[in-house]
Amino acid sequence: MKALFRATCASQPKATPFGGSLQRRALLAAAVMLAASWAGSALADGAPPSRSELIRNLLPTVVNISVRKLEIAHNPDAGVAMAGAPAGSAGGGGATGAGGAGAGGTGAAGATTKVAPTNGIPANPMESGDISDSSQEIKGYGGSGFIIDPSGLIVTNYHVVQDAFEITVSFSDGTTLPAKTLSAARLADLALLKVNPKRPLPAAHWGNSDMVGVGDEVFAAGDPFGVGLSVSAGIVSALDRDIQNSPYDDYIQTDATINHGNSGGPLFNSQGQVIGVNSAIISPTTGSIGLGFALPSNDARFVINRLRTYGWVRPSWIGIKVQQVTPRIAEALGMAQQNSSIVSWVLPDGPAEKAGMKIGDIILRFDNQAPSDDRGLLRHLATTPVGDKIALLVRRDGAERNVSITTQLWPRNQWEANDAPTKVAQPKIVIQRNLGLSLSTMDAEQSAKMGLQEGLHGVLVTKVTPYTDPAVQGMVDGDIILRVQDKPVATPEQVQTGIDAARTDKREFVMMLVLPKVRTVPGPRWRALQVATRGG
């Protein structure tokens, strides 16, 4: 993939030597001095922006992504684990707290260390009222993304929005908009979202990740742990890292701080270009230890362009399966060269078989290049234009031979069996008429015991149904409701009247002024409780 977006430079005119009279030399010297003075003036007027100015200009292109997902309650195998892993991911329960998209579960530096995507931890165990199946819960998560088109196209990690039935995007100016997933690629862990803004949005600019080098300065932007838009600085620590997220892994490693919630956010270079998509961390804890991983921008750009154009990755295919030649395999084959791949399967009637490829062939070169490993070979194969001829140098029975293969389009149904987004479960939310609150009137003795001032009335909460919105918002038995919307309440009937009035007014939420049973700070606080589903 790296070769697809390699920057090209226009050829520069060759310098022509000057000669001639003293007068010509004097004129040349004067011209050089004049040019130097102009250059100095231009540099002073158009000096490159400072780091803080550069970052301020970039932040409007970065967004927070909040999602809601329907999940099975109290089921460790299917639920989201403590680190925020999407359902069914191998690394869901890891100490890093960020699994998903098939990237989790890769051991590193110890049994408790996991590689895991950096989507946010659950905001709440449930975010709305009762649902039809008591074994299901609605959970909220947070991630990041960045704008790539002023019309409202946004890039993020697939694991951020995987299984989400509701997606909300928040911008740096405080604006929030609903979003939908246009298309996604599970293997690449990328998703393309769409919002409908009222005005053009500021878009980030892709950089060339092939030009990235170890030691380059980088900035990671996103919304870690939901604290708000944040930026961290660091360097590129390594390139072409394999974190076993997919057969094509080619991650940029950075020590710029990446935490849960950074998933899908951009990794900028010092020129303010996106050279990576922050996707994963390795950590024995729930926080960053300086081992962050970003999908290279050239890989991401290839996938996103294919998603925009075709709705899927649309890779090339020749019908073989390969694996890296390890030192053991090389020794078993009696060969010294290890920078090669061995064919472990050739699909019958596929392009490779028709060209004469056989199981056990050693691929040494691809289009006269030596792929760095099997991952590099697979990336090259997948991104070769459909219908192009590729030249392979293979070793078979101790002899080298050239094989020419015409690539074909990967059968879409086969590709999408492993790459298409999973079907999203839509919850059937049933919000109880009383919101799940059992209430009772308070007499003067109870009011005094609960600490209400003389003459102040309220309604006592005697029970809060689990998994309802009041429970999610932290209400417990012993709380006292003082007002509903703008009206004081003294009886359960008055509370219910206020709830019904909010529904009559087509509101999704109702305001309640609540005096908590347990008060970390003095006085009551307002709570907005859901009384109806959106649009219902």
Catalytic residues: 159, 189, 263
CA distances from 149 to 203, 206, 284 (A): 5, 11, 37
Torsion over CA: 348, 351, 356, 359 (sign): negative
Angle at 533 between CA 528 and CA 534, to 5 degrees: 90
For residue 406, the cross-strand partners are 389
Contact between 344 and 358 under an 8 Å Cβ cutoff? The reply is no
The residue assigned the tokens 């899908």 is 264
Phi, psi of 350 (to 5 degrees): -85, 170
Q: Determine how β-strand 136-149 pairs with β-strand 292-296.
A: unpaired
CB pairs under 8 A, 24+ apart, for 78-81? 79/137, 80/122, 80/139, 80/141
Query: For residues 33 and 331, is the Cβ–Cβ distance under 8 A?
Result: no
Residues 6+ apart with CB under 8 A from 244: 103, 106, 115
Beta carbons of 113 and 283 less than 8 angstroms apart = yes
- Stated as kind and residue range, the H or E segment containing 295 is strand 292-296
Q: Token pair for residue 240?
A: 């072409």
What are 328's two structure tokens?
């053991």
d(CA 227, CA 249): 30
Q: Which residues of 18-41 are buried (b: 16+ CB within 10 A; e: fewer)?
A: eeeeeeeeeeeeeeeeeeeeeeee
Structure tokens at 113: 């260390």
φ and ψ at 393, to 5 degrees?
Answer: -100, 115
- Contact in structure between 296 and 279 (CB atoms under 8 Å): no
Closest CA to 300 of 228, 386, 223, 204: 204
Calpha distance 83→71 (Å, rounded) = 15
